[in-house]
A and B are shown apart, each in its own frame.
Chain A
Amino acid sequence: MEKMARVTTALGGNTITGRTMFCHLDAPANAISVCRDAAQVVVAGRNIFKIYSIDEDQFVEKLNLRVGRKPSLNFSCADVVWHQMDENLLATAATNGVVVTWNLGKPSRNKQDQLFTEHKRTVNKVCFHPTEVYMLLSGSQDGYMKCFDLRKKDSVSTFSGQSESVRDVQFSIRDYFTFAATFENGNVQLWDIRRPDRYERMFTAHNGPVFCCDWHLEDRGWLATGGRDKMVKVWDMNTNRAKEIYCVQTIASVARVKWRPECKHHIATCSMMVDHNIYVWDVRRPFIPSAMFEEHKDVTTGIVWRHLHDPYFLLSGSKDSTLYQHIFKDASQPIDRANPEGLCYSLFGDLAFAAKESLISSDSNRKPYIGDRRHPIFFKRKLDPTEQFEYISSSSALSVFETDLESGSMDWFVRTAKQYALAGRPLAELCDHNAKVAKELDRDQVAQTWTMLRIIYSSPGTVPSANLNHSLGKGSTSLPLMNSFNLKDIPPGIGNESRLERSKGESRSENILMDSSSTLINNDENEETEGSDVPADYLLGDVEGDEDELYMMDHENPHAEEQEYILPQEAFPLRHEIVDNPSALDHLQEKADSPHVSGNEAETVSLTPVESFSLISISHSLYENRLPTDFFNPIVRDMLLFYAEQGDVQMAVSVLIVLGDRIRKEIDEQTQEHWYTSYIDLLQRFQLWNISNEVIKLSTCRAINCLNQASTTLHINCSNCKRPMSNKGWICDRCRQCASMCAVCHHVVKGLFVWCQGCSHGGHLQHIMKWLETSSHCPAGCGHLCEYT
């Protein structure tokens, strides 16, 4: 504590000095208030009501106002306020609904002056008029505000908020007649003290109770409010409608707000529950408090700036039975611990990234990359002469990453999405189809992957003998693929930048894959290594070769099935079946699996080719053990993860759907869900609604599945009375009329109703279609040229 600052401020002859200090109270405090001269503070709570003088090094108890043998409930204070004009005058609000004034000038021990028992419920707040000595305002749980003239025995006027309880009342500092009141239902009302019949203005400020408000000390129109919804809002009241100009989101219900003197945009807050700190916010910078006091161990119940013109001293009382004086110098500043960073995309896909210079330069092994134009820029904030804080001038580095237009184009994505086949055909055929699609788009690696998938997962029994050898060789092509996982480490630059320019990175790594395929053989893996003896181009060249054969066997598949799949989604059967998806998928798989059933092992063995001796033995052993397809699952899983990592979530999802159950269990649900959502999100950005719907439908994640079952309701209004129809679609409960008549046959439409969006006439789908073949006018005869799409 020795480095605690000692601050001295001169305020027009009145000097305030002090340090961070505290004293123990005997009981939890509910509220505190300071004397005008900033030398004394009063603390009030259920079991405490004392005045302390603020000395340089300590608080000294000066007076205990709780006198009497058995203190009554009148001493149980919810709020306390010290008059800013008269230093002998205090007022308290008691939990039993009594408003008490105290006169310190009284000679007797009991300083109680007047007692107003007009409120029926707890009084939450009392407030003296800033310039008028005898005027006191109170707000209570019973929904009333009362204005007292201390020279009279009763209240002068009563204001009814017409609502539940009043949580806070505050006289405007500048407008003599105005005060603001906040309510439990979220409203804020402005009143003119002369007009008790009705409020001048009311607006809803918060969702839930508004616990506090505070007028700005200088700006006459600004009112800050804090609510249970964890917000602090600043309202500009100068205009006709209260306008929210700033909003600060805190982490707990806001119990008190207090503008900081001499600092136009600073405000101190403390919370009702959970959070014990006091924050000082710059309302223009609402995400991070500009200062924080962390001394209290229970919720802070009262905060007050020590002097009206001094921004460095804050006093606070808390439920932990302590009274603190906080010095601004000792406040912790969260901003020091934060790393300011900014990231933004430009219109053309360029990415700018700014961060503290020190952070970036420390990252020494980061190589500059070609597109990275780095501009070291030094920002220096101009000091606002009205605000006397030292801003730490900081320097930051700005990096701009340009994407070249080529790689930025996402054509391939759209085309792939459109052309991929994901279900409805046997697995082998799907793989081949997708491989072809990828090939056409010059995405060799992807094409290759699809082919391999086919080989891994569709039984070799169906592969004609001539191909067996190749397929075996192809089994080994998973080698380069496996190596491709390591790719990230091989060229040091790419790994780092790949996230910034995904598509580019991908094509680059593909090249490398090709080039390095021969050097990659030094893989100490398994028996498959031998397979790579086969020259690489040979392997790759044959990919297309198998296709024909594979297609041949697919001819058995009924055509109808294919058609069903090809049908675009708009042409759904009138009532499209709502399938429980997992079962639907099983169904598909059953079909896809069918070739598998046909292949049996005996056949396989007999088909083993006798081309090269070494190969035979291998192939033999391979097929004798019949490496179950499960054997490859880890590899395939890694491959999917690799694609997803690279940013090609399309591939990951497509493979996931095509392989279905074969691979699903290998990948944890959450990852799958994550892929699905990203892919669907991408598809929707490209407005590929049908495809995204199809993906949703085919997905097996429950969370994804239910996406297209959400908000399936269509609300309609009755065509007669124009009011919403509730339960049945065709008859209106209100006007008892059949609402949806077919304009052609004049019968009620109970099934599918189609109508023109121009004139809202319509009818049975078939009837309208028939009608439009002959006429383009509305069948109802309204003369509208109807359009149906």
Chain B
Amino acid sequence: DREIKIPRQLGRGPSSFIPVEEILQEGTERAQRQLFIEAFVSTGRVDNVTMVMGLHPEYLASFWKTQYLLLRLDGPLPYHKRHYIAIMAAARHQCSYLVGFHVAEFLKVGGNPEWLQGLHRAPQKLRNLNEINKILAHRPWLITKEHIEALLKTGENSWSLAELIQALVLLTHYHSLASFVFGCGINLEPGQEGGPAFQPPSPRSCDSSPASEDGMSSPSGKDAMQEVEVLMERMKLLQECQLEEEGVTQEEMETRFELEKTESLLVAPTVDIAEPALPPNVLCFVEEPEFGYKDFTRKGEQAPPTFRAQDYTWEDHGYSLINRLYPDMGQLLDEKFQVVYNLTYNTIAMHSGVDTTMLRRAIWNYIHCVFGIRYDDYDYGEVNQLLERSLKVYIKTVACYPEKATKRMYTHFWRHFKHSEKVHVNLLLLEARMQAALLYALRAITRYMT
């Protein structure tokens, strides 16, 4: 009979990067509130990820529907296996937040506690998934139809195609969600091991470094202001340019993409912080922990051919395939990609009424570029113009090795932008990364099927 009260985080708030006040504004929008209520009612909690995503209610609704279908509605895989796959995926990025969360869920749906002692205790069928889990998490372009074949070949522990599709969606979903968790510095839930009482083992927020404070309320505000102005100026320029500049040769376009790809090598985080000791409860789900993102185009190596976006698009091919094997999922993923791709408030920092299409497209395509996907109809020179170096570093880090993201990186890019805008970048990251990995995986399946 009472008004539904959503329990509130006490203490630190949902994210260690974003001040609590930013996320929990009194009298939040109606739509957002409604979503929280829904989340609370159906799962008994409003987790930190939901809180942060709540900054973009339109997206959250779509995200929720997908995740709900993935974990809780009818599907080819039994519930406990779904959570176990989520654990496997999150563990690849050492994301103890997601691992902890799904360990609890796994037990709740009646999973066998023994499996939690490590991957070696899980059934062979799940262990077989480890190979593509590893590849999809770090170097999705390596996935081939042989991998798919190995999983599907008949035998005692074989997968059915429908099961495999759901597993693939789960894996990619949780890989990229791990990116989001690290990218936004999501705090552990209260009650989770190493929760509020302790310093969170992940993400490794550099709270100790004094630099973490700068940027936000810093004296360098003027510079930041200028950054925004410069960005605006460039966007305007590009927009006009595009109509005139036609002299660019194809070769140049090609080299621009290659340049962007190779340059992404340089933006890799230079400071390789000593590998932290992983909590054993996460490590036990990982085999070959040293397998990580390797730059797509390392000089001197035979690089695999670039993935041409037009040859295998989500809208035409990916959707058709998923929809055939896991019907509702295709629809929901399609909606989700569309929502995130078109999400805009027409604002940039303190300016409003700005068409941000170019900027969003640059971010999206840059992420795909990092994974080796090339759009024929995109001039990768734009990326260079629009994305400043610190942003590139951040994007690359969060997309490829999210566990290395730090608060410092978070604060260093787009210093004058709102937190919600930075979360927006993270959403783009999440979805673009997921789509990239899915496209590689689905292409492999298509090749297997033909």
Q: List the interface of chain A (C-beta within 8 A of B).
A: 46, 70, 72-74, 76, 78, 94-97, 117, 119-122, 141, 184, 208-209, 211, 228, 252-253, 272-274, 276, 297-299, 319-320, 727-728, 750
- A–B complex contacts, Cβ < 8 Å, 6 sampled: A76-B376, A95-B310, A121-B377, A252-B324, A253-B320, A273-B316
Q: Mark B250-279, 1 if CB is under 8 A from A, else 0.
A: 110110000000000000000000000000
A122, A272, A273: the one contacting B310 at CB < 8 Å is A122
CB distance from A168 to the nearest CB of B (A): 13
Check A228–B320 contact: CB distance below 8 A.
yes
Contact residues in B for A319 (Cβ distance below 8 Å): 450
| C-alpha gap A727/B311 in the complex (Å) | 48
**Minimum CB–CB distance for B265 against chain A, Å:** 24
A298, closest chain B residue (CB):
B450
Specify the chain B residue showing the minimal Cβ separation from A94.
B376
**Does the CB pair A72–B317 fall under 8 Å?**
no
A122 touches B320 (CB 8 A): no
B296-323 to A contact mask, C-beta < 8 Å, 1/0: 0000000000001011000111011100
**Contacts A76-B376, A95-B310 given; does A272 touch B250 at CB 8 Å:** no
Interface residues of B (CB under 8 A from A): 1, 3-4, 242, 246, 249-251, 253-254, 308, 310-311, 315-317, 319-321, 324, 334, 376-377, 446, 449-450
Please state if B251 and A95 are interface contacts (CB–CB under 8 Å): no
Q: In the complex, how many residue pairs between chain A and chain B have their CB atoms under 8 Å apart?
A: 74
CB-based nearest A residue for B324: A274
A274 in contact with B449 (CB, 8 Å) = yes
Verify A252–B311 contact, CB threshold 8 A.
no
| Among A117, A122, A253, contact of B246 (Cβ-Cβ < 8 Å) | A117
A76, closest chain B residue (CB): B376
Cβ of A97 and Cβ of B320 under 8 Å apart? no
Residues of A within 8 A of B449 (CB): 274
- Asked if A141 and B317 sit within 8 Å, CB to CB, the answer is no
State whether A73 touches B250 (Cβ < 8 A).
yes
A78 to B375, CA, bound (A): 13
Given contacts A73-B253, A73-B254, 14 further A-B contacts (CB under 8 A): A46-B310, A73-B376, A95-B310, A96-B253, A121-B377, A122-B310, A122-B377, A209-B315, A209-B316, A211-B316, A273-B320, A320-B450, A727-B3, A750-B1
The residue on B at minimum CB distance from A74 is B250
Verify B251–A70 contact, CB threshold 8 A: yes
Contacts of A117 in B (CB 8 A): 246
- Supposing A184-B315, A727-B4 touch, asked if A96 and B376 sit within 8 A by C-beta, the answer is yes
- State whether A274 touches B320 (Cβ < 8 A): yes
Nearest CB of chain A from residue B373's CB, rounded to whole Å: 13
Collect the chain A residues with CB atoms within 8 Å of residue B377's CB: 95-97, 119-122, 141
Given contacts A95-B377, A96-B250, contact A273 B315 (CB under 8 A): no
Measured between C-beta atoms, what is the minimum distance from A487 to chain B in Å?
41
In the bound complex, how far is the Cα of B3 from the Cα of A141, in angstroms?
48
Per a CB cutoff under 8 Å, which of B246, B249, B320, B450 touches A72? B249
Cβ contacts under 8 Å, A728 to chain B: 3
**What residue of chain B has the Cβ atom nearest to residue A730's Cβ?**
B1
Residues in B with CB closer than 8 Å to A120 are: 242, 377
The answer to whether A122 touches B249 (Cβ under 8 A) is no
Interface contact A276-B376, CB-CB below 8 Å: no
CB of B446, distance to nearest CB on chain A (Å)? 7
B391 to chain A, nearest CB (A): 23
Q: Name which residue of chain B comes closest to A28, CB basis.
A: B311
- Shortest CB–CB separation between residue A260 and chain B, in angstroms? 25
Task: Report yes or no: B250 in contact with A46, Cβ–Cβ below 8 A.
Answer: no
Bound: A351/B251 CA distance, A: 73
What residue in chain B is nearest A142 (Cβ atoms)? Answer: B377
Bound CA span A119–B251, Å: 19
Q: Given A73-B250, A95-B376, is A273 in contact with B1 using a C-beta cutoff of 8 Å?
A: no
Is the CB–CB distance between A272 and B450 below 8 Å?
no
Q: How far is the CB of A712 from chain B (nearest CB, A)?
A: 15
Known: A117-B246, A298-B450, A727-B4. A273 touches B321 (CB 8 A): yes
Instruction: List, in ascending order, chain A residues with CB within 8 A of B376's CB.
Output: 73, 76, 94-97, 122
B314 CB to closest chain A CB, in angstroms? Answer: 11
A95 contacts across to B, CB distance below 8 A: 308, 310, 376-377
Find chain B residues with CB under 8 A from A253 CB: 316, 319-320
